[in-house]
Amino acid sequence: MSDESYKYREIEPKWREYWISNRLHEARDEDPRPKYYCLDMFPYPSGSGLHVGHWRSYVLPDCWSRYKWLQGYKVLHPMGWDAFGSPAENDAIQKGIHPAVGTKRNVENFKRQLHEIGAMYDWSREINTTDPEYYKWTQWIFVKMFKVGLAYKTFMPVNWCPSCKTGIANEDVVNGRCERCGTEVTKKELNQWMLRITRYADRLLNGLEKLDWPEKVKTMQTNWIGRSEGAEVNFTAIAANGAEHPLNIFTTRPDTLFGATYMVMAPEHPLVSELTSNQQAAEVEAYIEKVKGERDVDRAAKAEKTGVFTGASALNPVNNEKIPIWIADYVLMAYGTGAIMAVPAHDERDYEFAKKFGLEIREVISSKEGIEKEAYIGEGTMVNSGRFTGMPSGQGRKAIVIWLEEKGVGRATVNYKLRDWVFSRQRYWGEPIPVVHCSINCGLVPVPEEDLPVRLPEVERYQPTGTGESPLAAVQEWVKTRCPNCGGPAERETDTMPQWAGSSWYFLRYASPHAAAALTTAEGKKWLPVDLYVGGVEHAILHLLYARFFTMFLHDAGVVDFDEPFQSLFNQGM
């Protein structure tokens, strides 16, 4: 477009200045009109600046906000920065510049670009997750969680990026590689902070029903939570030397218990060495060694079934039948109990395994299809199942669980795929976890709320130490402190939070971004919750799950009076 047809160099700045000087896009608490809160997923301010993909995401809510504005709403349409994270830190490592410096420069660039594009944002409510006045509240939420047992520390084999030298969450592992740098991820045992998101599993699942979200996103969340009803069944493992050990399994199909013809344990199951016979020991050890370096994701996805017989057997409580115990990499220690009953006639993986190793395949659910060619996994009439023979499988499922409970050899249970959230990072550029280790009396003590924020100290080196400790561990004058409880010598926690932390509640802060005494004020609460949330489908699982978890927790803590943050959701790229 030439200057003759549209004098954008004159027209656009003129009206932008008019909007700004008249504060047209600022949301005012005292405005009497009904509110509308339209939110974009805030960006990470990268060094390359705003690209067309950003604006593709932002243009729709920008138009929608103007539309709601014209309809007579007072519209809250804010913007901010999800500014902790590895790129700024990697930059700092390479160039020795404080990550805050690069972040500030990038934010200015993003703002300039958004300004020139004519976007309608209320810049008076801008937030930045790396601002101590902001992360004070991220830390405050953590302290609240710690006090009710939702934050805890434990030794965990975690994914470890040998290049970033930090533990990373399952979610940040993409095809077995570090999401940030692409290096192949290994395992390392570290003392990690965890968030007990599993306590909210049922609410995270049930809450989806009332949301106006794309069905596809709801399905993705549902599958991630992975709730399955079933039974825990108490088998008895009999070692090669005759010693007996209780061995529990979880199954979603207790109606197929009579079809269990062998058991499989994860190779790293702690009982394996005690159960294994002398004859099988060499083969079992070699197999365990082979599997050791493999990752769960790859193991679960393997086409070729492998495994080794242990020489031990297990007693099936429904018919007192002795069945052989195998170990195989398709059973993962992290899911269920780390052991399964194998019902090859009615489970695809067990069927393949049984075919390969010549194990018995016994039909216990009759079907037209039969089990000659493949496992039959549907419903049918129970056969070869003792007193339950002749029952429809759905009914038999309940009847067997009742029988197990009466005999004291099992019970109805619910299982989830969702795991607790690894919340520790051994990095510099993140919110310090606000906890102190009292050396003498008190153990782990949260920093008192009035002493927040715990600010990031200046460091000489941004490199991770590589020993599993963050660069903060090297700043002794910061680490050494006093116990807030007993006044004795104490050390600060040196792990920082993951980048997910600040983005799990930022939508609440826009409502009262400058409040010093509370996360959100009474006036601010009137803007909440978000009416329309717009962002990329790549955030359909984790960001939304974490944001919902934080909101539910803050609801329970009395901070907000709703437990779902985003009433409506629109995803680009669906």
Nearer to Zn ion, 77 or 427 (CB): 427
Say if residue 223 is exposed, middle or buried (CB neighbours under 10 Å; 0-12, 13-18, 19+).
Answer: exposed
Q: What is the four-CA torsion angle of 11, 15, 18, 20, rounded to 10 degrees?
A: -130
The dihedrals phi and psi of 462, each to the nearest 5 degrees, come to -95, -5
Nearer to Zn ion, 332 or 442 (CB): 442
Nearer to Zn ion, 212 or 298 (CB): 298
Nearer to Zn ion, 90 or 366 (CB): 90
C-beta of residue 79 within 8 angstroms of C-beta of residue 40: yes
Supply the minimum distance, in Å, between the C-beta of residue 481 and Zn ion. Answer: 11
Supply the minimum distance, in Å, between the C-beta of residue 466 and Zn ion. Answer: 13
Supply the minimum distance, in Å, between the C-beta of residue 450 and Zn ion. Answer: 17
CA atoms of 248 and 447, how far apart (whole Å): 41
Residue 426: partners with Cβ closer than 8 Å, 6 or more residues away:
165, 166, 167, 190, 464, 465, 468, 469, 470, 495, 496
C-beta of residue 426 within 8 angstroms of C-beta of residue 473: no
Supply the minimum distance, in Å, between the C-beta of residue 220 and Zn ion. Answer: 25
Half-sphere exposure of 530 (CA within 13 A, CB side): 30
Sign of CA dihedral 165, 169, 175, 176: positive
3-state secondary structure 279-315: HHHHHHHHHHHHHHCCCHHHHHHCCCCCEEEEEEEEE
Supply the minimum distance, in Å, between the C-beta of residue 498 and Zn ion. Answer: 13
Nearer to Zn ion, 164 or 208 (CB): 164
Which ranges in 293-388 belong to alpha helices (H)?
296-301, 348-357
Chain residues that interact with Zn ion, rule: CB under 5 A = 161, 163-164, 178, 180-181, 183, 438, 441-442, 483, 485-486, 488
Sign of CA dihedral 151, 153, 158, 164: positive
Q: Provide the residue count of the chain.
A: 574
Nearer to Zn ion, 383 or 442 (CB): 442
DSSP letters spanning 379-446:
--EE-S-GGGTTSBHHHHHHHHHHHHHHHTSEEEEEE-S---EE--B--SSSPBP-EEEETTTTEEEE
Nearer to Zn ion, 29 or 179 (CB): 179
Nearer to Zn ion, 205 or 483 (CB): 483
What is the enclosing helix (H) or strand (E) of 483? none
Supply the minimum distance, in Å, between the C-beta of residue 446 and Zn ion. Answer: 12
**Token pair 């594009």: residue:** 117
Nearer to Zn ion, 164 or 547 (CB): 164
Supply the minimum distance, in Å, between the C-beta of residue 431 and Zn ion. Answer: 20
In this structure, the number of other CB atoms found within 10 A of the CB of residue 289 comes to 10
Supply the minimum distance, in Å, between the C-beta of residue 487 and Zn ion. Answer: 7
Nearer to Zn ion, 173 or 540 (CB): 173
Supply the minimum distance, in Å, between the C-beta of residue 184 and Zn ion. Answer: 9
Residue 287: partners with Cβ closer than 8 Å, 6 or more residues away:
267, 306, 307, 308, 327
Supply the minimum distance, in Å, between the C-beta of residue 440 and Zn ion. Answer: 6
